[in-house]
Amino acid sequence: MKIALFPGSFDPITKAHVDILERSMSLFDKIYIGIGINGNKKPHLEPETRLEMIKAVFGKDPKIEVLTYEGLTIEFCKQLKAKYMIRGIRTVSDFEYEKAISQMNHALEPEIESIFILSKPGYSSISSTIVRDILRHGGKVEKFVPPAAMPFLKVNS
């Protein structure tokens, strides 16, 4: 069974995330969406809200399971028995960053492969960081997030 982990903050999930995941589905038998919890950062959405939001976006697809985790992503892969880690690449700087992490992960756990999937051009400018900034300033984000995610988003004024 081919098991993959798609890790990220998903704060919030965007159409770019959904695109990468949907394009990955034919490659794997099971995909875990891992919501990484970083205690040093103040999230826009609480982990439980992100978990419910992602579940709403992907419904009851039997290939997808959504979990939260803390600590090293490579250790979470091992815990899940995932041999693949899916990473979306939007820009050259994303590639350089992800390449360095992939090489470190490979040094820690050679049996886990990083799979890079290039963002479609129409999604390359969408990031959770930008969406959060738009939300903080009361802007509209419907173009950037899946419709099922909208009820979970709150605008901080």
pLDDT in tens, the chain (157 residues): 999 999 999 999 999 999 999 999 999 999 999 999 987 778 899 999 999 999 999 988 999 999 999 999 999 999 999 999 999 999 999 999 999 999 999 999 999 999 999 999 999 899 999 999 999 999 999 999 999 999 999 754 3
Q: Is 102 annotated as a binding residue?
A: no
CA distances from 143 to 18, 59, 122 (A): 13, 20, 11
Catalytic residue at 128? yes
Q: Is 28 annotated as a binding residue?
A: no
Q: Is 142 annotated as a binding residue?
A: no
Domain borders along the chain are: 3-152
How high is the pLDDT of residue 60?
A: 85
Number of DSSP helices (H) and strands (E) in the chain, helices first: 5, 5
Q: Which CATH class is domain 3-152?
A: alpha beta
Q: Where are the beta strands (DSSP E) in 78-154?
A: 84-89, 113-118
Catalytic residue among 41, 120, 136, 154: 41
Q: What is the pTM for the complete model shown?
A: 0.93
Catalytic residue at 90? yes
